[in-house]
């Protein structure tokens, strides 16, 4: 009797618990909807405030989703291997219908996908989320990260080292970058268009020499300690940035530095302004004196010219593609030896307003594009995401199973503006179109660059024109003449005149 009632009580408790968990998870979607709804209908919000508000909603839901994932993992259900399309991944997809559109497009990143790692009065560093956090489809670039640094004029970025190899690209400002290697200190005065390699674990600091222009640097990183994770280590600092010295026991530090504890407390207790601060004119002058390999004080005799192999100016070379619709500058390891071990090619595309690039595809490389300036949109064909989305939830084939029909290609697209990132995996045909109002300027990092070939799909050297007559006829099932008439019609190469109208899809860009 007593046992029976106890059991009943336990059963009751369990069901209440279950119910509350169930209710909590079921309300997640409406929550996002409601949150966004509130942003939309908030009185007195201008479009920017509304956008920020909506981003706040997304961030909140994303965080929740993350927590959910961790909870599931810690409950033991997690599998070590990424789960293919079916099963839990899809379940998760279903759960967050608010994000459905985004999930259909794991190749496109905007503000909300960046994490702010440093933010001070003088500047900030933003790090793009890990690619595989977004989708397993991006496994090929799992161990690369993208970030950018923006500072005011005359800002100083405190010394630190990173557990990653970094290639940076200077788009704005004039940084003096100092790295310390062994007993040598080298300062490099960089300019617009410079690429610079910072080897992993190299202490580095910089200052923006420019009095008027902001500093804007894009970073490509390959982590070396925890694959895909990226951290900064500050030796010099206090509370903010925190010095890693403070992680050691006081007794240990006292012995190691042969200094009394109160002196150490003072040293490591002063800095609270963060890792990006303001430097004076005199300090900047001193900090931008270029030191040679000797590490001696004074002037490096050949400064002014790029004497170092650590830097390469992307615009110092002739463009590899150029016409009135755009220009492409490229650097591979022949130009800049430091790209070799990273298997990286860096390119800069300046697409004239109203013009377009491609369609083309890369044979082996996966291309990560970061929009530096301008507006426009991109489109890409992808057989990996389902074309139907929610309306027609069809079971995805297991990788081992054979598909019964030819692939279906989903149009992937996104509106581009400064800070947007899009990824074109190897083999995926893609194009980018500049708005009629401004040039679209993009810096691209192509990984797995060795032996990569860019295959043009339209224009002078397009691949279809090169097929045999018979192949054209058989494959299109129309006379080869007709194929040629279309594919030989475009005389330009790589950059072309863009479409007259913005396609119907998606949001309109300004």
Ligand X SMILES: *[C@@H]1O[C@H](CO)[C@@H](O)[C@H](O)[C@H]1NC(C)=O
| Contact positions vs ligand X (CB under 6 A) | 350, 439, 441
Nearest CB to Cu ion, comparing residues 214 and 411: 411
Encoding tokens for residue 344?
A: 């990286």
Structure tokens at 440: 């679209």
What is the smallest separation between the CB atom of 325 and ligand X, expressed in angstroms? Answer: 11
Write the Ramachandran bin of 388: left for phi over 0, alpha for psi from -120 to 50, otherwise beta: alpha
Assigned token pair, 369 = 């594009």
Nearest C-alpha neighbor of 443 from the set 461, 414, 412, 416: 416
What is the distance between the alpha carbons of residues 278 and 152, in angstroms, rounded to a whole number?
8
d(CA 461, CA 488): 9
- From CA 216, how far away is CA 192, in angstroms rounded? 9
How does DSSP assign 40-55, residue by residue? HT-TT--HHHHHHHHH
Which does residue 350 touch among ligand X, Cu ion, none (CB within 5 to 8 A, set by kind)? ligand X
Residue 384 contact partner, candidates Cu ion, ligand X, none, CB within 5 to 8 A by sort of partner: Cu ion
**Dist CA 389 CA 408 (whole Å):** 13
Contacts of 273 (CB under 8 A, 6+ apart): 120, 121, 240
Burial of 468: CB neighbours in 10 Å, binned 0-12, 13-18, 19+: exposed
Cβ 175 to ligand X, closest distance in Å? 17
Interface residues toward Cu ion, by CB under 5 A: 382, 384
Closest contact distance (angstroms) between CB of 313 and ligand X is 11
* Nearer of residues 96 and 378 to ligand X, judged by Cβ: 378
Nearest approach in angstroms of CB 350 to ligand X is 4
Q: For ligand X, give the closer residue by CB, 168 or 382.
A: 168
- Residue 439: name its binding partner from ligand X, Cu ion, none (Cβ under 5 to 8 Å by kind): ligand X
Number of H helices and E strands in the chain, helices first, is: 11, 26
Q: Is 460 helix (H, G, I), strand (E, B) or coil?
A: coil
Task: Name the residue nearer to ligand X (CB basis): 366 or 439.
Answer: 439
CB of 311 to ligand X, least distance (A): 17
For ligand X, give the closer residue by CB, 215 or 380.
215
Choose the one of ligand X, Cu ion, none that binds residue 152, judging by a C-beta under 5 to 8 angstroms depending on kind. Answer: none
Measured from the CB of residue 215, what is the shortest distance to ligand X in angstroms? 16
Give Rg (Cα) of the chain: 27
CA 269 to chain centre: 34
Q: Which is nearer to Cu ion, 135 or 166 (CB)?
A: 135
Q: In the bound complex, what is the minimum distance in angstroms from residue 329's beta carbon to ligand X? A: 8
Closest CA relative to residue 160, chosen from 146, 152, 149, 169: 149
Angle between helical axes of 88-95 and 47-72 (0-180°, round to 10) = 150
Between 156 and 169, whose beta carbon lies closer to ligand X?
Answer: 169
CB of 24 to ligand X, least distance (A): 50
Question: For residues 243 and 441, which CB has a smaller minimum distance to ligand X in the complex?
Answer: 441
Question: Closest distance between ligand X and the C-beta of residue 348, in Å?
Answer: 7
Residue whose CB is less far from Cu ion, 279 or 365: 365
Q: Are 457 and 385 in contact (CB under 8 A)?
A: no
Tokens of 375: 């507006």
Residue 483: which of Cu ion, ligand X, none does it interact with, CB under 5 to 8 A by kind?
none
């Amino acid at each position: 009797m007593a046992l029976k009632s106890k059991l009943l009580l336990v059963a009751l408790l369990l069901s209440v618990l279950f119910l509350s968990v169930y209710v909590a998870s079921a309300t997640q979607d409406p929550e996002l909807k409601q949150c966004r709804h509130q942003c939309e209908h908030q009185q007195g919000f201008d479009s920017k405030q509304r956008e920020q508000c909506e981003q706040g909603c997304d961030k909140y839901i994303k965080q929740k989703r993350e927590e959910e994932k961790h909870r599931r993992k810690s409950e033991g259900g997690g599998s070590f291997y990424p789960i293919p399309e079916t099963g839990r991944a899809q379940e998760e997809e279903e759960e967050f219908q608010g994000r459905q559109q985004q999930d259909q497009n794991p190749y496109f990143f905007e503000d909300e996908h960046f994490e702010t790692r440093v933010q001070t009065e003088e500047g900030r560093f933003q790090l793009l989320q890990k690619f595989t956090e977004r989708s397993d489809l991006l496994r090929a670039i799992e161990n690369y990260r993208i970030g950018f640094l923006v500072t005011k004029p005359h800002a100083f970025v405190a010394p630190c080292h990173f557990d990653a190899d970094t290639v940076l690209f200077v788009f704005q400002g004039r940084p003096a970058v100092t790295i310390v290697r062994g007993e040598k200190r080298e300062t490099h005065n960089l300019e617009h268009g410079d690429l610079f390699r910072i080897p992993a674990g190299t202490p580095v600091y910089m200052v923006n020499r420019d009095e008027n222009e902001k500093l804007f640097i894009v970073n490509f990183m390959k982590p070396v300690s925890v694959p895909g994770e990226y951290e900064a280590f500050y030796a010099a600092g206090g509370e903010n940035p925190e010095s890693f010295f403070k992680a050691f026991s006081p007794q240990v530090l006292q012995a190691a530095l042969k200094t009394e504890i109160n002196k150490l407390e003072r040293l490591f207790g002063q800095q609270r302004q963060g890792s990006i601060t303001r430097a004076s004119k005199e300090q900047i002058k001193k900090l931008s004196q270029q030191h040679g390999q000797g590490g001696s004080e004074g002037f490096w005799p050949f400064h002014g010219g790029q004497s170092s192999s650590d830097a390469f100016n992307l615009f110092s070379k002739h463009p590899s593609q150029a016409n009135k619709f755009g220009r492409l500058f490229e650097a591979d390891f022949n130009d800049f030896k430091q790209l070799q071990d990273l298997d990286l090619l860096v390119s800069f595309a300046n697409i004239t307003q109203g013009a377009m690039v491609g369609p083309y595809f890369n044979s082996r490389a996966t291309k990560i594009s970061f929009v530096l300036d301008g507006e426009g949109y991109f489109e890409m064909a992808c057989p990996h995401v389902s074309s139907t989305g929610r309306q027609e939830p069809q079971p995805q084939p297991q990788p081992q199973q054979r598909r019964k029909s030819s692939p279906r290609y989903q149009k992937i697209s996104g509106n581009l503006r400064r800070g947007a990132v899009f990824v074109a995996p190897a083999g995926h045909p893609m194009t980018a179109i500049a708005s009629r109002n401004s040039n679209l300027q993009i810096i691209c990092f192509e990984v797995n660059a060795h032996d990569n070939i860019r295959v043009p799909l339209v224009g002078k050297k397009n691949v279809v024109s090169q097929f045999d007559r018979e192949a054209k006829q058989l494959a299109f099932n129309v006379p080869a003449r007709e194929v040629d008439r279309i594919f030989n019609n475009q005389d330009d190469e790589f950059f072309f005149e863009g479409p007259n109208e913005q396609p119907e899809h998606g949001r309109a860009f300004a």
